[in-house]
Amino acid sequence: MAKKSKEKSNKKAVVDNAKEGSYSAKDIYVLEGLEPVRKRPGMYIGSTGPAGLHHLVWEVVDNSIDEAMAGHAKNIGISLLPQNRVMVIDDGRGIPVEIHKQTKRSALETVMTTLHAGAKFGGESYKVSGGLHGVGVSVVNALSIWMKAEVCREGKLYAQEYQRGKPKHAVKKVDTCEGTGTAVTFEPDSEIFKEIVFDWEEILSHLRQQAYLTPGVKISIFDKRTSITPKTEKGKTAHEFPAQSHAFYFDGGIVSYVKFLNEGETPKHDHIFYARKEADISDKKKILVEVALQYTDDITPKELSFANNIFTPEGGMHLTGFRTALTRSLNTYAKKNEYFRKDDETLTGDDVREGLTAVISVKLPEPQFEGQTKAKLGTPDARTAVEWVVGETLDEFLEKNPDDAKQIIAKALLAQQARKAAKAAKDTILRKGAMEGLMLPGKLADCQSKNPAESELFLVEGDSAGGSAKSARDRRNQAILPLRGKILNVEKSRLDKMLASKEIRALVIALGAALGNDYDESRLRYHRVVIMTDADVDGSHIRTLLLTLFYRYFPKLIDAGYLYIAEPPLYRIQKGKNVRYAFSDAEKEKIIAELQKEKIEKAAKETKVAKGAAKVSPPEGGETLTDGEEEAVGEESESGEKIKGITIQRYKGLGEMNPGQLWETTMDPARRVMRQVAVKDATEADKIFDILMGDEVLPRKKFIQTHAKAVKNLDI
């Protein structure tokens, strides 16, 4: 009996477990319409941060660019409007509005509200298109709290509005119009995007790029956000956007783009190589290849690749085909004209790419991108097409322009010599350094932890600040490397000369991951590398030199999010025993106002009216005031200033802080402020580093003159 009862109990337990872990048809959830986009926005736009926010703009603009590439649009306008709205308008054919046979709805509504719906999957409407998956504008619609589409066709203006991807009404005729075109206005959803601020400079840079890639098309940008902006408590605008507009129009295409990229550089040869050819892949499939290149006296390459006007920052098959053809053609020419001293001597890919500025653009039907954000082209035919076109046309260019060819080969041979010298330097320095378990730099005060994920390396300016930082740090996971003086400007130096610098050599060995092409993240000893310099001109210069070093030789460290800039406070503000720190002039004024308000409120409570002079008792630590007197402040440094009862000290250097203050303000993870270094626009970053740290003085002078008025608290 007991046995039967036990069996019954076990059977019941099995049934209960089945209920808890059930998996049947009812457990399968089907997300309809645009629900998948709102559920997993990162799958479609990469992220819900600033990059994803701007990706919405690119998706809508891509549709207008597609019309331009198909030869139907000559003007594209982008307007940043109040209420975080963006409008993109073109004079293309206009999205069709008639009823779609399959969906039984207007074609406009189908395109705007359905994933994988568009004219880019077949037919002859778009032989070449940047939109691959057909999800672009519908994704923007799904992630917008409001959107409006307006279409002008056959003299009639049609419109439809949407809310979070769902139509508010049917497509309807609202007016008459002239010409043809489409206007899409959208407002990103604050439920999806935590901060909605469109970056004018980023939009400008992207659209400039598109204008170069679409010669003969005018792209205009307008910033109209100033009329309505959110108000703060004090009546000031939360974001101030100056009224501005810009227009791009380039007949020269990617040749003009190469000239733009090389502004401030010294070209090694006069003629810019340019090729434009169609490669037949099959009877029905052709790929248009456009390539422009020029060498400069720089030592870093700039290669920008595009597929159907979509920037592919991670390259892909078209870039691989270009590099293969370039290396082969230059080696063939060098051997044929006896530039090599030895028969088995060759130029490597790195040799022929030093100082190269190249733009590679392919236009092809049905491109295969890796990921919805289209960062890398995966179409194998693109490699074959680019390799064939570049190989054939570059061989011809070198033969027809022997002077240019001589300069190009000389540049590559010089790079070859530097590569061999750099290899010897790396073998000598790096393999005998910390990466082989030998001695770390003597000046490095290492941390106790051997776990890179929790370890931090502070790069500190000077021995004085270094000593203070060593005393202030948490020895368990914070390491200190003092750097004496200004390190070598690596923008102007090759690798072998760079590694001859004691300061840079110590830094490379301390990091433990090698550099450049040999960089190995698995050997990196710290996952937080913090640049900590003084808040003066010299400190800014040293910080820029270090940023140049990391950008040129440790780009993967930056991409991984391991590089930071410490933000020491600019001011120490004391009233009695109350000490506060300010990181900007605005914060200083705010703190002073708060302290003065506190003083007035406290004084009002403690004031005793007498027939004689009124007396006020200040907070503890101060002196009693008599009417007409100014409160005396304590000891004051050169950088201090007096404001009744408040001592303000302006920090010019980390060395002015004692270890306790340095820990409290700059190194304590619970209270410190640090900026993470990220590369938002690699092309623009490269250009800025060339201007600030390159050999050419004129671009740097122009930059200083342009931005001089924006400089505050300049120490001279």
Distance CA 541, CA 555 (A): 20
What DSSP element (H or E) covers 259? helix 254-261
Q: Are 159 and 148 in contact (CB under 8 A)?
A: yes
Q: Tokens in use for 557?
A: 């460290």
Residue 580 burial class via C-beta count within 10 angstroms: exposed 0-12, middle 13-18, buried 19 and up: middle
Task: Concatenate the DSSP letters of all residues of 634-691 into one string.
Answer: ----TTEEEETTEEEEE---GGGS-HHHHIIIII-TTT--EEE---S-HHHHHHHHHH
Q: Are 177 and 45 in contact (CB under 8 A)?
A: no
Distance CA 390, CA 359 (A): 12
Is residue 534 annotated as part of the catalytic site, yes or no? yes
Residue in 387, 456, 503, 534 annotated catalytic: 534
Residue in 538, 567, 587, 684 annotated catalytic: 538
Q: Which residues make beta-bridge pairs with 230?
A: none
- Tally of helices (H runs) and strands (E runs) in the chain: 21, 25
Distance CA 329, CA 323 (A): 10
Q: Is the dihedral of CA 689, 694, 696, 697 positive or negative?
A: positive
Q: Tokens in use for 693?
A: 């740290």
Of 651, 655, 650, the closest CA to residue 482 belongs to 655
Q: Tokens 């390491």 appear where?
A: 479
Residues whose CB falls within 8 Å of the CB of residue 699, separated by 6 or more in sequence, listed in order: 263, 264, 690, 691
Of 331, 405, 325, the closest CA to residue 360 belongs to 325
HEC letters along 139-193: HHHHCEEEEEEEEEECCEEEEEEEECCEECCCCEEEEECCCCEEEEEEEECCCCC
Read off the amino acid at residue 110. T
Distance CA 705, CA 406 (A): 38
Could you give the strand order of the β-sheet that contains 646-650, starting from the edge strand earlier in sequence? 578-582, 571-575, 646-650, 640-643
Q: Tokens in use for 605?
A: 């409570």
Distance CA 114, CA 139 (A): 9
Is residue 461 annotated as part of the catalytic site, yes or no? yes
Of 127, 159, 160, 165, the closest CA to residue 145 belongs to 165
Distance CA 677, CA 548 (A): 12
Residue in 395, 496, 536, 696 annotated catalytic: 536
Q: Round to the nearest angstrom and report the end-to-end CA distance of the chain.
A: 98
Of 227, 263, 276, 215, the closest CA to residue 71 belongs to 215
Residue 557 burial class via C-beta count within 10 angstroms: exposed 0-12, middle 13-18, buried 19 and up: buried
Q: Are 46 and 52 in contact (CB under 8 A)?
A: yes
Residue in 381, 461, 664, 686 annotated catalytic: 461
Instruction: Report the catalytic residues.
Output: 461, 534, 536, 538
